[in-house]
Amino acid sequence: MALLAAGITAAASVAPASAKTDIKAALRPFACNLDTWYNDVPFNERFARAAADGFINVEFWPVRREGLDARKARALLDANGLTLTQYAPTAPNFSDPGQHDALLDMIRQAISDSAIMGNKQITLVGHHIVDGMPREAMLAGYTAGLMRIAPLLEQAGLMALVEPFNTVNHLGHLLNGSRPATAMLRAVHSPMIKLQWDFYHMQLEDGDLIEKFTAGIDQVGYVQLGDVPGRHQPGTGEVNHVNLLKAIRAAGYKDPMGLEYYPLDNDHGRAVRDAVALSLAANL
């Protein structure tokens, strides 16, 4: 693992940041996650921190918390020159068909909030295991829920990103790794329901990152990064992110990638420098 981590560090050093580096341009391919970054300050203060470090794109988890709502979040985004790529409204456990009405209500609220904040995507989970329900029934329930919300999303032009987890440290969920989620979304067949391809989860659950991503690219709506082990920034673990990011672009994914990881040792300055070096080394 140490050799692999050293490998990405060496690769990143091919294109090191310098005094002439345009930090904002280097960070443009990324979206800073405001729930995993800057958590040494209150959430409302993290927008300014991200902007000061050079980010222009951000993402976060629920918007409705700590007195925050969509309008207040939009004001913070605008004040700091930030664009929201996506956020994660709290979803009911709609593997259970009895939760489908609650799911529809949540989607309607997310459509309204997204229109205010300007994001075009939301992350959708809601696939907790339902005690006493067979796996086949849960898969059918989740699929049916996606089909019920598809017309609403398509009409609004809002993409829902189904996020599979992993069975190492995210226990109790129906969808883990790239399968069966890829097959499920192909069956749903909606342009507004795609996968949140979180490489942290995919590495823990699947491995074989490049081939599986390339095979599933038709269902990828958004990408998130995080190294293994530890869920820190690329370069701190076992994944060669320079090769990975080149493969992501080669597969056709051109949108921002979410940095949903915890900066090592809470050192945000280092995490920013590492993100800039990665962007340069991968020619993003």
CATH architecture entry for 2-15+23-281 = Alpha-Beta Barrel (3.20)
Given a contact cutoff of 8 angstroms between Cβ atoms, the answer to whether 263 and 34 are in contact is no
CA angle 41, 46, 52 (to 5 degrees): 115
Confidence of residue 210 (pLDDT cuts 50, 70, 90): very high
Q: What is the mean predicted confidence (pLDDT) over 136-158?
A: 98
Model confidence pLDDT, tens digit, residues 12-38: 433 455 557 899 999 999 999 999 999
Where exactly are the structural domains of the chain? 2-15+23-281
122, 161 Cβ separation under 8 angstroms:
yes
| pLDDT tens string 236-267 | 999 999 999 999 999 999 999 999 999 999 99
Collapsing DSSP to helix, strand or coil, 146 comes out as: helix
Q: Encoding tokens for residue 131?
A: 């005690």
pLDDT band per the 50, 70, 90 thresholds, residue 66 = confident
Total residue length of the chain: 284
Structural contact between residues 50 and 80, judged by C-beta atoms closer than 8 angstroms: yes
Please tell me the predicted confidence (pLDDT) of residue 16: 54
Q: Which helix (H) or strand (E) holds 186?
A: helix 181-188
Give the β-pairing of 30-33 and 257-259: parallel
* Residues tagged active-site: 163, 260
**Residue 233 corresponds to which tokens in the numbers above?**
């920034």
Picking from 95, 83, 123, the residue whose alpha carbon sits closest to that of residue 107 is 123
Residues 6+ apart with CB under 8 A from 95: 126, 127, 128, 129, 130, 133, 138, 139, 141, 142, 145, 174
Determine how many CB atoms are found less than 10 A away from the CB of residue 40: 10
